[in-house]
Structure 1
């Protein structure tokens, strides 16, 4: 998995030259987080311990990672995107009409995370990130550093680090339920000035999941392994404490790797054989033109591996492709539950 990386607008920032911003960012130390607002106040939301103001919506947004980009579009702020980095798959069709990277609307960085200088050149007043790596010294800087130069931020809370500036290997004990996703979309909607749109989105997602669960009463739950096999041949599994496990369970399956922590954790072939999954799911990744069909080479390799011939998922031809974007915390998760449920229990749909 790639690990790449809010700001209340400050009146001085708009007039400050880029060189001043760069010097300020490189010179500032890790300042303590803003204090939480008084109880009952409605002027901010708390995000990974950072108070994110809600009074004035941001005007220029940089979004990192697929889930961050689509959340901005889903909440009606796509016209404010000045930059975006890392699509795992094509955008949902309803957003593609607004995405014009060939015209720099927004500027798009498909493979390498843009430098701090490049992002600041875009003059954002807010950064939305789907993963934690953006907010490190090697990325854009810590959220406290960005705040010092007037750039606010929001981070999907399933990737809250133990401390501001820490990377992907230092995650807090975070909630990986769909409730966490709903809360992120609700809070981000408030920050972006779209609370009604956020509430409607969350309501639709909850209804989708409820409809699926209503069709799955009493089903036998197959053991599901969600994994990938990069070009070097090693197996990487989506383990526990990740929204992928939540999606598996909501879709009527059980996590075959219920004692393996983390996302895309290395396992050996013998471990996959030992777990005997009934179903294997392969998320296709990564690129703006990468769809489920691009997982076929991985699926073919799994089927052709003689060591896996007796794994039930291989024997019964139950190896399926999905997209990486749908099993990452964000607006696609309810649809992911419905999609996977149809694969696991086609007789119920």
Structure 2
């Protein structure tokens, strides 16, 4: 769950020289520098919005689907990697892209695809161990965008060193709007954001006066320790918009380790398990974890387990991106079926 590192390159210098010769890198500024033309700020980096990129590499599920949702799927030359099944409306077009399902490709492999822009849903792509910092990519003529809920404290930092970021849906809407400007898809971004806002508003309008259940969103990768989606994450926003209360409101971060005793102590009314990871994984991918929770005698008196209120969703739904509004609507129906 977002803990894999990109493979080390055989020769970063050789790759830089190769792309520099192909793309021409004269005059490229540092990532933190101000481009000559119009631009938008993104995690401390100014991203040009003049000429749209022609060849896009998309890293992580939320970035991949965002590019397709904005109508720029024909620009995707490569992608890595999907948490779940791609939305059906993008699947046919996606097959034309070079896809790396098991692990991130090396720098050399990405550069071989000759992208002029990289969109990433998580910060791990832009590190010295990954594709390189955004400043390094910019020097060789490759622009970049990062979903802002994963802005690091400085360019090149990884997911363990995030800035104090906005984890509301407004942040998601802002990313889609800004990415639409960068990709030359402003109208498409506006329509997408308005549709998402309408879905959320329609859901919230049905939840006035409801009693809010305590919701724990968690997983157990590989059958090991429990990991909870805590505060400082869009998952909490989705829970709250759907008429729930975050059961782990004082636990920071995404996929923070907790003990069984802590889950018992919190007594959640509902447990939500996001299924992950792989291009063929749907909600049923959470079944093994759900079965384990149901059969654990230590959890028998936890209200969610006792009352059979453990539900499967997908990891892609609770990651900042185009699925978040539908995730709110879907979770609200699970929490408050009497309202729908």
Normalised-by-shorter TM-score class: over 0.9
Q: 1: CA distance between counterparts of 2:131 and 2:291?
A: 39
Pair 1:170 & 2:168 matched: no
- Aligned partners of 2:158 and 2:58: how far apart in 1? 18
Structure 2 Cα separation of the partners of residues 119 and 37 of structure 1: 24
Which digits, 9 at most, give the CA deviation of each residue in 1:181-200, with x for residues without a partner? 00000000000000000000
Aligned partner of 2:151 in structure 1 is 160
Query: Does the alignment pair 1:205 with 2:196?
Result: yes
In the alignment, structure 2 segments of 5+ residues that lack a partner are 6-13, 23-28
Aligned residue pairs, count = 326
Residue 89 of structure 1: which of 84, 101, 109 is its match? 84
2:32 to 23, 31, 34: 34
Any idea what SS the aligned residue of 2:184 has? Answer: coil
1:40-189 superposed matches below 5 A: 43-100=38-95, 105-189=96-180
Distance in 2 between the 1:129 and 1:17 partners? Answer: 20
Please state how far the C-alpha of 1:232 moved relative to its aligned partner. Answer: 3.7
Structure 1, gaps ≥5 residues long: 6-15, 25-30
Q: Which runs of 4+ in 1 moved over 6 A?
A: none
Q: Shift in Å at residue 77 of structure 1?
A: 0.6
Residues 286-321 of structure 1 show CA distances to partners (whole Å, capped at 9, x for unaligned) of: 001000011111100000000000000000000000
Quote how far apart the aligned CAs of 1:207 are.
0.3
In 2, Cα distance between equivalents of 1:242 and 1:17: 35
TM-aligned CA distance change 1:133 to 1:3, over 3 Å: farther
- Are the structure 2 counterparts of residues 339 and 68 from structure 1 closer, same or farther at C-alpha, using a change threshold of 3 Å? same
In the alignment, the residues of structure 1 paired with residue 298 and residue 323 of structure 2 have an alpha-carbon distance, to the nearest angstrom, of 34
Q: Secondary structure at the match of 2:54?
A: coil
Question: Counterparts of 1:229 and 1:311 in 2: how far apart (Å)?
Answer: 17
Q: Structure 1 residues 4, 196: CA separation in 2 closer, same or farther (over 3 Å shift)?
A: farther
How far has the Cα of 1:21 moved from its partner? 2.9
> SS of 1:98's equivalent?
helix
Select which of 275, 284, 292 maps to 2:283. 292
Does the aligned pair in 2 maintain the 1:4–1:139 contact within 8 Å? no
Cα distance in 1 for partners of 2:171, 2:44 equals 15
Contact 1:90/1:289 (8 A) holds in 2: yes
Distance 1:153 1:316 in 2: 47
2:261 & 2:32 partners in 1: Cα distance?
Answer: 49
- 1:73-111 deviation per Cα after TM superposition (whole angstroms, max 9, x unaligned): 0011101100000100011111112111xxxx2100011
CA contact (8 A) 2:35 2:47 kept: no
